[in-house]
Structure 1
C-alpha cells in the first residue's frame, strides 16, 4: 500500500518548485526525468470506476506496465491505496492476467468477468513529464517527491496537470505534512483531493461526485483514549476533505456534508479541549473555515427547503433571488478553498493529529486520561456533554431564539459524543439515545432555519429586491411562534436521557 500526499501547483509556479532549496538540499542525487503516457481503460458503462477501481496502461519508452488501483482508503488527505501491477508485451491491457495476483476476490472477479475484460476500451489519456527527487530528511526519513506536469486528454477536452506527490518510503507520515507546510510557506499549494484518474473520469461524467457521509468510527476495545481521539479526528477530516471535489463543482449536498464533517471535528476538539488543546493559530483557521461554509449553506437551505414550507404562496421569485445569492456565495467559496489559508489549515490539522502534537504542550503521563483505556476514560466526557445539555434545558426561555440555538448545539455535541464512541457502547442504548436527540435536533433545526430565513429575507426586503419578502417573513415568524409550544415534550425527554454507559 502506498502512502502519499498530493498537492496541486499553479502553472506559473512550476519552475519555482524545481529550484526550491528544500528539494535541492535534501535530494540524495540528481533528480530523474521520465516521459510517461498513461491510458485508462474501462467499459462503456464505466463498471471499473463505479466499483472503486481504475486500470491504466503506462508507456515509458518501449515498455508497458498495467496497474490496477483501488479508490483512496479512509484516510484524511493522505492517499492510501491498494495497487497491483504487471508488465505487458504491448499497450493492450490484460485484466484477467493481473487479476491472478489480487487477493480481493471482489476486484479479481470484476476483472475476470467477460462483460468487463472483453469490453475494455480507452476512456482518456495522460501525457506527463515526471521529475523525481529522492529526499533524505534530517531525521533519516525517506520521501520520494515527484513533480508531474502535462495534460489529461479526454475526447478533445484537456486539463493541465501541475501536481506534486510526496510519497513516504521510510518513516512517519507526519513528516509529509511538515515538508508540505515548509514548501507552502514559499509557494502556494493546494490539497489535491482527487487523483488524475478521478479528474479524467470527471471530464467523462460531467457531474459532481456523490456527497460523502460520515463513515462510522470503529474503535478497538484496547485502544487508549489518545488513540481513539486521533482515530475520530481523522475520521472527521476524511469526511470533510472527501467532499471538497463536489463543493468545487458547487454541489449543495457536498457542501452540507463537508460542513457536517467540520462540525463533527469542532465538537470533538471542544470535547477534548482540556486534554488536547488545539494551537490558537489552527483554531482560528478552523473557525474561519466554519464561517465560510456556513454563510453559503444558509442561502442553500432558504432556497431549497425553507421557502417551500410556506403554504398557499408562490415562492418562485424569492427562490430565484435566494438561489442567485447562493450561487454567488458558492463562487466565493471556491476562492476560499483555493486560498493558501485553507491549505495551511488542512495540513496543520493533519500534522497535529498524526504527530500527536498536543503532547508538546500537555504533561502527558501514564496517569493521564489520554493514556487510559478509551472504554473507561470516555465516561466523564460523555457525562459532561449530557450535563451541559441538561443545564441549558433547565435555564431555557423557550421564546429566546439564542437560547434554543445553544440547546441545539449542546444536543448535537452530546449526540456526536455518543456516536464517536458508539462501537464501545451498548448498541440498543446508543440507538435510543441518538434517536431521542435527533428528534429534538430536527425540531430545533427547523426553528433555527426559520430564524436564519427571517434574517436573510430581511436583507432582501431591505434591498427592495422582492415585494414578496414581507409576506414570507411574516409567515415564518408566525410559524416559528406556533411551533415553540411543541418543544416542551422533546425537551423533557432529552432532559431525562441517560448516557448509554449508565444503567
Structure 2
C-alpha cells in the first residue's frame, strides 16, 4: 500500500517532452507496453467516486491495483499479486470496495492498452519524480464497444518531501504546451461517468451550508470504510467520528434538513458497534502506558496479560462484529439513505433562509442546551444521579462543538472559538468519565485475578491512579466552566 501523488496533463499528439536536465539528473526514457483491464459495477459506481480497480500486465509493477481517492492530487494505492483469472476480482480487493458496490457485481468495463515512455529525475541516488509519456488506446465494453485514442503525460512524485520539485516539473511541462487534465484518471477520461447528483439548494442559504457539511461527512465516512476493513491505525476512530458528526448535525439542523429520524437511529447503531472496539483499544493502550510508568517491582502477577492480551482478544472479537456490520444489507441501506440525504434531502422552510441569520441562531441554541443540561444536573441533590446527569452535559457540549465546526466556513472565526470552548468542556468531563470507567474495568479484572489466586496489588495501584485522574478533573471543572461561560458571552 502507498500514497500516489501525481499531476496529470493532456498533451497534443506531437507534444515533445521538454529538456529537464536543468532541474535534476535525467535517466531514460525507457519504454513499456501496459495492458490494464478495469472492473466496476454495470452502473459505474466506482468510477463515479473516483475509484479505479484494475488488473495490469507489463511494466515494472504488474498485478492488481486498487486506487482510492485520498486528497486532491493524491490517492491511496493497494496492490495484489497478478492472478490467472480475468473474470474474478481477488476477494481481498472486492471486500475493500463493498461500501461502493453494495452487493452489485464487479465486471470488466474497459481496457487500456498503453505504450509508455518513462523518464526518471534524480538527485544523486534519490529518485524524485517519474514522468510517464503515454500513448493510450482505450476500449469500452459497455453497451456498444467503442475505441478511443489519446496521449497524456503524468508526473508522479517519488520522494514525498519534494512536492515543491514536482511543482517545478509541472511548470516546465505546461510551458512546453501541456495542460492540466480535468479527468482524475485514464478510466474517467474513457468512461466519462456522470457526476454525483447534488442537492438543489440555493446559494447563500442555510440549506446550502448544511447539505454541504453533510456531504463532506458522508464522504469522510465512506473514505474510512476500506481502512476499517484493513484494520488500519485510527480508522475505527475516524469512522466513528464521522458517524457522530453526521448524527449531531441532523439533530442540530432538524429544521433545515427534515425527516432524518431513521438515519439518526442507524448512525447511532453504527457508532455503537464501532465504539465497542475503539473503547477497548483506547483503554488497553491507557493501561499499557500506566504499567510502563511503574517501577518493575510494583508490577506483580500476570496483570500485563490480563490488561493486554485479554483486552486485545476482546478487541478482536469487537472487530469481527464490525466486519459483520460492514457486510450487512442494513449497512448498505444506511449508505443508500446517506446518498439520498445529500443528493435529494427533505428540506424544511428554514433551508431557504439566509445562512448568516438562521445558522447563528442554531449555534446559540445548541450552546443553550449545554447550559440547560448543566443547570439540570446541578439541581439534583443525589451525588450519583448528579454525576450521571453531567454525562448529558458532556453530550450537549460535543453537539455544540460539532455544530460550531460545521458552521465555521460560513460564520467564520467566532464559530472556531465556540467549537474550542465546547471542546474544553467535553474534554474535562471526558477525562473524569474515562477515569471512572477505567476504575470499573480494573475492579472487574482485579476480581477475576483474585478468584484465580493471583496477586492483585498492582490493580490497586492503577485504581488509585485512575481515581486521582477522575478527582482532579472533577476539581478543575468549576474553574473551566466559569471561564468558558465568560468566554462564550463574548463569542455569542
TM-score band (shorter)? 0.5 to 0.7
1:418 aligns with 2:396: no
1:132 aligns with 2:117: no
Deviations for 1:354-399, whole angstroms, at most 9, x for unmatched residues? 112x14xxxx5xxx22101211210210111111111122333486
Q: Which residue of 2 aligns with 1:226?
A: 207
Question: Which secondary structure does the structure 1 equivalent of 2:231 belong to?
Answer: coil
Q: Which residue of 2 aligns with 1:460?
A: 445
What is the CA-CA distance between 1:119 and the residue it aligns to?
8.8
Taking a change above 3 Å as real, the CA distance of residues 39 and 347 of structure 1, as seen in their structure-2 partners, is: farther
1:326 aligns with 2:315: yes
Q: Write out aligned runs for 1:15-26 (5 A).
A: none
Q: CA RMSD in A?
A: 4.5
Which of 308, 311, 316 is residue 304 of structure 2 equivalent to?
A: 316
Deviations for 1:267-315, whole angstroms, at most 9, x for unmatched residues? 1011022442344433332221111111111101101125524653646
Q: Is the 8 A contact 1:255 1:293 kept in 2?
A: yes
What is the CA-CA distance between 1:255 and the residue it aligns to?
0.8
What is the CA-CA distance between 1:262 and the residue it aligns to?
0.9
Q: Which residue of 1 aligns with 2:56?
A: 38
Q: Which residue of 2 aligns with 1:155?
A: none
Q: Which residue of 2 aligns with 1:284?
A: 265
Unpaired runs of 5+ residues, structure 1, are 10-17, 24-35, 57-75, 79-86, 97-112, 121-128, 135-166, 176-219
Q: Is the 8 A contact 2:247 2:264 kept in 1?
A: no
TM superposition score normalised by structure 2: 0.57
What is the CA-CA distance between 1:260 and the residue it aligns to?
0.9
Taking a change above 3 Å as real, the CA distance of residues 119 and 238 of structure 1, as seen in their structure-2 partners, is: closer
Q: Which residue of 2 aligns with 1:377?
A: 358
Q: Which residue of 2 aligns with 1:173?
A: 197
Q: Which residue of 1 aligns with 2:344?
A: 355
Taking a change above 3 Å as real, the CA distance of residues 283 and 256 of structure 1, as seen in their structure-2 partners, is: same
Taking a change above 3 Å as real, the CA distance of residues 380 and 234 of structure 1, as seen in their structure-2 partners, is: same
Deviations for 1:250-271, whole angstroms, at most 9, x for unmatched residues? 2341111111111111110110
What is the CA-CA distance between 1:239 and the residue it aligns to?
1.6
Once the two structures are overlaid, the 10-residue window that deviates more, 328-337 or 398-407, is 398-407
What is the CA-CA distance between 1:331 and the residue it aligns to?
2.3
1:480 aligns with 2:465: no
Q: Which residue of 2 aligns with 1:438?
A: 423
1:407 aligns with 2:396: no
Query: d(CA) in 2 for partners of 1:266 and 1:7?
Result: 34
1:52 aligns with 2:74: yes
Q: Is the 8 A contact 2:263 2:337 kept in 1?
A: yes
Taking a change above 3 Å as real, the CA distance of residues 303 and 321 of structure 1, as seen in their structure-2 partners, is: same
What is the CA-CA distance between 1:500 and the residue it aligns to?
7.4
TM superposition score normalised by structure 1: 0.56
What is the CA-CA distance between 1:424 and the residue it aligns to?
2.4
Q: Is the 8 A contact 1:379 1:501 kept in 2?
A: no
Question: Which secondary structure does the structure 2 equivalent of 1:332 belong to?
Answer: helix
